[in-house]
Structure 1
Amino acid sequence: MAQQIDYYINNPLIHKDRKLGQASSEWVRSFSCEDLKPLIVCRGPIRKEAMDVYEEMGIAHYGILLSEKDSIVYPNALAPELRKLTDSTRVHRVPDYSGASKEERVERINQIIQIARDNDYDAVFAGYGFMAEDDEFVAAIENAGLKFIGPCAATQTGAGKKDEAKRTALSVNVSVTPGIDNVTARTLVKKHKSREALLALVKADDLKVDAKVLKDTTLTLEALADQILFAAYAKGIDLFSVEELCAQVQIETMEMFRNYPQSRIRLKAIGGGGGKGQRILGVSLLTVKNPSDAQIAAAAAEAPGLVREILNEVKANGVGDNKNVLIELNIEQTRHNEIQLLGNGQWCIALGGRDCSLQMHEQKLLEVSVTQEGLSAAIARAKAAGRKGEIAALESDLKVLKRMEEESERFGLAVGLDSASTFECIVDRDRHFFMEVNTRIQVEHRVTELCYSLKFTNPKDKKDFFIVESLVEAMALLARHKERLPKPERIVRFNASAEARLNATDASLSPHAGGMIRYWSKPLEGEIRDDQGICMVNPDTGLFMRYKVAGAYDSNIALLLTKGEDRLDSYESLAKVLCHTKIRGTDLATNLEFHYGLVNWFIGTNVNAKPTTRFVVPYLTLVGILKEEASKLDPIYAFLQMKKHYAKEISERFADQPEVVNAELKNISEILDRKGTLLTRPMERLLEDPHVLSGWLSLNKKNFRIEAGKVVWLRNPLVILDETYGYLNMSFRPEEPAAEVIWSHDAALLEKGLRFYDTLREKFALGKEDYFKLNELLQKDKPQGGIDPKTWEAVRSAHFGYEAGLELLGLIFLVAENTRFWDLRVEEDMEITIPEYLTDPELQARMKKILVPPPATKADEIVSVCGGMYYGQEAPGMPKFVEPGMHFDKGQPLYIIEVMKMFNKVYAPFSGTIDKILIEGGDGVIVSKGQPLFKITPDEMFVEVDSRAVEKERRAKTAEYLKAVL
Structure 2
Amino acid sequence: MTQTADYYTNNPLIHKDRCLSQSPSEWVRSFSCEDLKPLIVCRGPIRKEAMDVYEEMGISHYGILLSEKDSIVYTNALAPELRQLTDPNRVHRVPDYTGASKEERVERIHQIIQIAIDNGYDSIFAGYGFMAEDEEFVAAIEKAGLKFIGPCAATQANAGKKDEAKRTALSVNVSVTPGIDNVTARTLLKKYPSRDKLLALVQAEGLACDKAVLADQKLPLEDLADQILYASYEKGIDLFSIEELCAQVQAEVAEMFKKYPQSRVRLKAIGGGGGKGQRILGAALLTVKNADDKLIQQAAADAPGLVREILNEVKANGVGDNKNVLIELNIEQTRHNEIQLLGNGQWCISLGGRDCSLQMHEQKLLEVSSTQEGLLAAIANAKTAGRKAEVKALESDLKVLQRMEEEAARFGEAVGLDSASTFECIVDRDRHYFMEVNTRIQVEHRVTELCYSLKFTNPKDKKDFFVVDSLVEAMALLAQHKERLPKPERIVRFNAAVEARLNATDASLSPHAGGMIRYWSKPIQDEIRDDQGISLVNPDTGLFMKYKVAGAYDSNIALLITHGEERQNSFEYLSQIIRSTTLRGTDLATNLEFHYGLVNWFIGNNVNAKPTTRFVVPYLTLVGMLKEEANKLDPVFAFVQMKKHYAKLITEQYADQPEQLGSALKAMSEVLDRKGTLIIRPMERLLEDPHLLSGWLSVHHKNFRIDNGKVVWLRNPLGVLNDTYEYLHMSHRPHKPAAEIIWDHDNELLQRSLRFSRALREKFGLQRDEYFKLNEILHNEEPPAGFSAAEWEQIRSSHFGYEAGLELLGMLFLVGINAKFWDLRVEDDLEITIPEHLTDPDLQARMKKILVPPPATKADEIVAVCGGMYYAQEAPGMPAFVAEGMHFEKGQPLYIIEVMKMFNKITAPFSGTIDKILIQGGDGTIVQKGQPLFKVTPDEKFVEVDPKEIERAKRERTGEYLKAVL
8 Å contact kept, 1:627–1:690: yes
Shift of 1:30: 0.1
* Residue deviations 1:495-541 (CA, integer Å, cap 9, x gap): 00000000000000000001111111111122110000000011111
Choose 912-921 or 565-574, whichever is displaced more.
Answer: 912-921
* Residue deviations 1:742-761 (CA, integer Å, cap 9, x gap): 11100000000001012122
* Residue deviations 1:664-709 (CA, integer Å, cap 9, x gap): 2112111111111111110000000000000000001000000000
8 Å contact kept, 1:15–1:465: no
Partners of 2:964 and 2:479 lie apart in 1 by 67
Q: 1:914 corresponds to which letter in structure 2? A: I
The reply to whether residue 782 of structure 1 matches residue 744 of structure 2 is: no
Shift of 1:762: 2.7
Gaps in structure 1 of 5+ consecutive residues: none
**What secondary structure does 1:200 align onto?**
helix
Equivalent position of 2:939 in the other structure: 939
Equivalent residue runs for 1:770-809 within 5 Å: 770-809=770-809
Choose 730-739 or 366-375, whichever is displaced more.
Answer: 730-739
Equivalent position of 2:438 in the other structure: 438
**What secondary structure does 1:270 align onto?**
strand
8 Å contact kept, 2:697–2:816: yes
TM-aligned CA distance change 1:426 to 1:10, over 3 Å: closer
TM-aligned CA distance change 1:379 to 1:355, over 3 Å: same
TM-aligned CA distance change 1:149 to 1:482, over 3 Å: same
Equivalent residue runs for 1:619-768 within 5 Å: 619-768=619-768
Equivalent position of 1:911 in the other structure: 911
TM-aligned CA distance change 1:10 to 1:618, over 3 Å: closer
Shift of 1:767: 2.5
Tell me the TM-score normalised to structure 2 length.
Answer: 0.99
Q: 1:488 corresponds to which letter in structure 2? A: P
Partners of 1:347 and 1:765 lie apart in 2 by 62
Equivalent position of 1:592 in the other structure: 592
**What secondary structure does 1:355 align onto?**
strand
Shift of 1:45: 0.0
Equivalent position of 1:102 in the other structure: 102
Equivalent position of 1:550 in the other structure: 550
Tell me the TM-score normalised to structure 1 length.
Answer: 0.99
Q: 2:874 corresponds to which letter in structure 1? A: E
Partners of 2:950 and 2:705 lie apart in 1 by 31
Partners of 1:542 and 1:919 lie apart in 2 by 43
Equivalent position of 1:64 in the other structure: 64
Equivalent residue runs for 1:1-80 within 5 Å: 6=6, 8=8, 16-80=16-80
Equivalent position of 1:874 in the other structure: 874
Shift of 1:663: 2.2
8 Å contact kept, 2:5–2:491: no
Q: 2:27 corresponds to which letter in structure 1? A: W
Partners of 2:657 and 2:474 lie apart in 1 by 84
Partners of 2:345 and 2:608 lie apart in 1 by 36
Equivalent position of 1:274 in the other structure: 274
Equivalent residue runs for 1:225-264 within 5 Å: 225-264=225-264
Partners of 2:919 and 2:329 lie apart in 1 by 40
Equivalent residue runs for 1:248-647 within 5 Å: 248-647=248-647
Q: 1:48 corresponds to which letter in structure 2? A: K
Partners of 2:67 and 2:493 lie apart in 1 by 37
**What secondary structure does 2:589 align onto?**
coil
**What secondary structure does 2:98 align onto?**
coil
Q: 1:282 corresponds to which letter in structure 2? A: G
Q: 2:551 corresponds to which letter in structure 1? A: G
Equivalent position of 1:211 in the other structure: 211
Choose 569-578 or 769-778, whichever is displaced more.
Answer: 769-778
Gaps in structure 2 of 5+ consecutive residues: none
Percent identity reads 80
Equivalent position of 2:951 in the other structure: 951
**What secondary structure does 2:312 align onto?**
helix
8 Å contact kept, 2:9–2:493: no
Choose 753-762 or 330-339, whichever is displaced more.
Answer: 753-762
**What secondary structure does 2:526 align onto?**
coil
**What secondary structure does 1:271 align onto?**
strand
Partners of 1:531 and 1:853 lie apart in 2 by 29
Shift of 1:15: 12
**What secondary structure does 2:597 align onto?**
helix
8 Å contact kept, 1:15–1:466: no
8 Å contact kept, 1:71–1:78: yes
Partners of 1:37 and 1:110 lie apart in 2 by 19
8 Å contact kept, 1:339–1:352: yes
Shift of 1:460: 0.1
* Residue deviations 1:430-453 (CA, integer Å, cap 9, x gap): 000000000000000000000000
**What secondary structure does 2:272 align onto?**
coil
Partners of 2:563 and 2:334 lie apart in 1 by 25
TM-aligned CA distance change 1:151 to 1:564, over 3 Å: same
Partners of 2:16 and 2:956 lie apart in 1 by 66
Partners of 1:267 and 1:718 lie apart in 2 by 54
TM-aligned CA distance change 1:761 to 1:652, over 3 Å: closer
Q: 1:141 corresponds to which letter in structure 2? A: I
8 Å contact kept, 1:761–1:767: yes
* Residue deviations 1:339-396 (CA, integer Å, cap 9, x gap): 0000000000000000000000100000000000000000000000000010000000
**What secondary structure does 1:747 align onto?**
helix
Equivalent position of 2:145 in the other structure: 145
* Residue deviations 1:154-184 (CA, integer Å, cap 9, x gap): 0000000000000000000000000000000
Q: 1:24 corresponds to which letter in structure 2? A: P
Aligned residues: 962
Partners of 2:88 and 2:920 lie apart in 1 by 36
Q: 1:360 corresponds to which letter in structure 2? A: M
* Residue deviations 1:475-508 (CA, integer Å, cap 9, x gap): 0000000000000000000000000000000000
Partners of 2:6 and 2:76 lie apart in 1 by 48
Equivalent position of 1:93 in the other structure: 93
Partners of 1:102 and 1:827 lie apart in 2 by 50
Shift of 1:653: 2.5
8 Å contact kept, 1:764–1:785: no
Shift of 1:416: 0.2
Partners of 1:543 and 1:867 lie apart in 2 by 29
Partners of 2:88 and 2:147 lie apart in 1 by 23
TM-aligned CA distance change 1:542 to 1:635, over 3 Å: same
Partners of 2:249 and 2:130 lie apart in 1 by 27
8 Å contact kept, 2:618–2:834: yes
